[in-house]
Amino acid sequence: MRIAALIVAAGRGTRAASPGGGPKQYAIIGGKSVLARTMAAFAGHPGIDEVKVVIHADDRELYEQSAADGRAAKLTEPAIGGPTRQASVLRGLEALAASPPDIVLIHDAARPFVSGKTISNVIAALNDKPGALAALAVTDTLKRASEGIVTETVARAGLWRAQTPQGFHFLPILAAHRKAAENGVDTFTDDASIAEWAGLDVAIVEDSNSNIKITTAEDLEVVDRQLSLTLEPRIGSGFDVHRFCDGDHVWLGGIKIPHTHKLEGHSDADVVLHALTDALLGAIGDGDIGQHFPPSDPKWKGAASILFLEDAVRRVRERGGRIGNVDITVLAEAPRVGPHRDAMQALIGGALGLSADRVGIKATTTEQMGFTGRREGIAAMATAMVFIPTE
C-alpha cells in the first residue's frame, strides 16, 4: 500500500505573517520555517511514501528554502494552488493522480507539531473506513450569540474540533473533490466535509492538544519562544580588510557608495559583508569565507558579496539555527557610513531575516593612525549571535 501526504501551503496567512511580511507557513520558529517542520513530520514517518506540497505561484523560492530543511528525500514536485483551500487541495490531488497512491493524508501547513502517533492512528483508521480525521473532543461550554448577546447554550456532547491530517482512500476523495468542483460547491472548510457531502463515512481519531494550528502573529511568537528554549546561543566574530586602488566607488554592506577610490579584491571587496559572513561561519564552526569561496577560483571574480552572506545564512539554517542579531563596526576615515546606514540595515536584515533593530552598523575612524588612518584601505569587524538546537 502506497501512502502520500498532501500538505496545503498555498494560503496568504492574513492573520499572521513572517517577520519579513510573508505568509505564515514560511515564518521561522525555533530556527526552521513552519512549513519545513510540517514537511519533516510527514517525511520522517515510516508509513509515508511521498510528500507533495501545494504552494502559491509566488512562493517557489520560499518553498525551496523550506524544502532544504524538510527532509527532501520524499518530497516530489510541488503543485500550484488555486484561489481557495478547496481548489488548492483539488489541484494537489490531481497532481498525485498521475501516479495515484492508495491513501492520501491531507494536512494544513500551519500545523507543524503533528505527532507521528496521530499520523499512524489516522492511517490505521483507514483500514475500516474510507475517511478519517484527527479531532479533539469539545470540552468547553458552547454559547450561541447574536449581536453580542448569548441566545443559547449549545450541548457539547458528541461535538469534536476537526483538525488535520484528514486521511482518505485516494480515488474516492479525488472523485468527491471533482464532483464538488463540477457542481460549483466551493464552501467546504475541510476535506472531511466534502467526504461527508459525497456520502463517505469519516472516522474520528482522537488527537492531542499539541497539534495546534498557527493562526495569528501571537501564535508565532509563542511557539518560537517555546522552541527557543531548546536552542544554544553561539557567538561568532569576523574581521576583514581591503586596500584602496584606483576607482570611483566602494561596496559597503551591499551598498555602492561613491568615493575617490575603490577597494581591491577578487570579489567586490565588501569588507562589511565579508566580516559578517565570517562571523556567521564562526558561530557554527564552519570554516571561513576563504575556504568556501577561495580567491583562486575565477568563478568568484567580481562577485557580489551578498552571495557569500546568503550562503552563510543557508548553512546556519541547515543546522536548524536562528540568527538573533548582528553588530558591525567599520573602520575608515572615509567615506562616511552614516548616510547609508539605513540602506545597509535593510539589505543585511533582508538577507538574514532580521528587523533593522537587530542589525547594528557603526563606523569609527582610527584618529589618522595605522593603515586606515592613512587612508590606505578600510577594515570591518562583525559579531553575530546565533542559536543552534541542542538536540
| Domains along the chain with CATH numbers | 3-228 (3.90.550.10), 232-389 (3.30.1330.50)
- Tens-place pLDDT, residues 103-149: 999 999 999 999 999 999 999 999 999 999 999 999 999 999 999 99
User: What is the pLDDT, as a whole number, of residue 21?
Assistant: 60
User: What is the pTM (predicted TM-score) of this model?
Assistant: 0.63
Reported confidence tier of residue 273, pLDDT bands at 50, 70, 90: very high
- Tens-place pLDDT, residues 331-355: 999 999 999 999 999 999 988 888 8
CA distance 158 to 135: 12
For the cut 80, the answer to whether the pLDDT of residue 34 exceeds it is yes
User: What is the pLDDT, as a whole number, of residue 296?
Assistant: 87
As a whole number, mean pLDDT of residues 246-266 equals 93
